[in-house]
Structure 1
């Protein structure tokens, strides 16, 4: 299992070297978007709408939008300095509470914790203490440069760190629209509903629940693939070679020559002999 983080768990004066591993994975089926005409994958480019051009990563800065179209720019050095202050912090358990006191709305993502070198005994000590007391630890930890609030608890025989939302990240339930305060319930309807709940009550067996949509989608994909109902992206056209300096110079010279020819005044036509004779006759007559 891939190790994504190494550090220590501390409670009191006890320090436990641990490794952290992702406990869950997203198994959503990712679908690509293709150009309908040629079945080529669509590319997404970062562009500036004002300059009307593609922007490279080196030309992008981070900023906080504190009002509509008003930003505070944060330099990368400033962000690195803030992260540096947090780098040496471990998973520090600050309180122990009962798991039942935390509503599931707070829970976010779960990570397995395994003992690092020399941490087996202390790891087992914390695991036994949590199991015997029925408590969980509330801790602060740094994951991907972000300070997280987390729960340290026992899952089967393994310690897990479960990130939880800060209170200000959970929206106020009072803002939910159209929730009735009280509803007058018919006694017979309520008893029937309670009987139905009791009838459907069972032990939680996670293996019995499956993602039926994902299964059906994969079956459809396999069926189409087996029937050779698939496509391949058209090869991207080779880009034209960049013209060298000599080519650029020749193009410029030719364009200049063409323009000069166009702008040059046409030479005056010589007078015809007939016209000259007419002029001479007029002079003789005078």
Structure 2
């Protein structure tokens, strides 16, 4: 499993060298955009609308837009220094809380933690402490240039880092429109709804749920491949130097032949003849 981060998790005076690995992966099927006419993948270019030309990566700087069309430019070295300051810090568990105290709306992405060299004993110590106490750890961690609030918990005998949103990243539920303050359902409707909930209640089994759209899309793709309903991007026509050279030679010969042809004599007007005679 690919290691995406190495660091130290600490609680109190205990330091645990760990490696972090992505616990989930995106299974979405990515479709490319092709030019309908020639079946060539569309190319997206970075173009400056003011200079009306394509720009290279070394011509691009990062900036924060604090007002419409007003920017504060941030130097790459300044950003790199900030990232280094945060990345060099050990991940300190700040608090231990009950899992039930955190609403699922805060949870974002999961990562597995494995012990790095010399960290197996302290790794097991934290795992056992969390398991016996029923608590989870709250910490801050730098992941991909962003400081994240995170939960450290146990999942099937493995420590997991679960990034969670900061409170100001969760929108106020009061801003959700048209939510009724009270339910005006009669007792019979409520009893019927509860009966339906009971009928559909079951133990959670993740293996029974499938992405049916992704499966159907892959079946369609495979069927088209087997039926040879495939397309290949056309190669860009390359200039034929031989043909171009022959064209140039033939045109040159034609032009030379025209230059060698005797030119028709210009008729001399009577007035011009009199002038020449004088």
TM-score band (shorter)? 0.7 to 0.9
CA displacement, residues 34-60 of structure 1 (integer Å, 9 cap, x when unaligned): 000000000000001111100100000
**1:202-240 C-alpha deviation (Å, 9 max, x unpaired):** 000000000000000000000000000001111133479
Aligned alpha-carbon RMSD (Å): 1.8
In the alignment, structure 1 residue 37 sits paired with structure 2 residue 33: no
- 1:24, 1:205 → 2: CA distance? 17
Q: CA deviation at 1:273?
A: 2.3
Stretches (4+) displaced over 4 A? none
Q: Which residue of 1 aligns with 2:214?
A: 214
Question: Are residue 85 (structure 1) and residue 85 (structure 2) matched?
Answer: yes
The count of residues paired between Structure 1 and Structure 2 equals 251
1:273 counterpart SS class: helix
Q: CA deviation at 1:3?
A: 0.7
Distance 1:238 1:90, change over 3 A: farther
Distance 1:55 1:213 in 2: 39
Q: Aligned ranges for residues 1-286 of structure 1 at < 5 Å?
A: 1-238=1-238, 272-275=272-275
Give me the TM-score of the superposition, normalised by structure 2: 0.87
Call closer, same or farther: CA 1:276–1:240 in 2, change over 3 Å: closer
Per-residue CA distance 1:110-165 (angstroms, 9 max, x = gap): 00000111111111110011001100000111111211100000001100000000
Q: CA offsets, 1:81-111, max 9 Å, x none?
A: 2112112112210000000000000000000
Match of 1:259 in 2: none
Q: Any unmatched runs of 5+ in structure 1? A: 242-268, 281-286
Give 3-state SS (helix, strand or coil) of 1:160's partner. strand
Between Structure 1 and Structure 2, whose CA radius of gyration is higher?
1
| In 2: Cα distance, 1:149 partner to 1:39 partner | 45
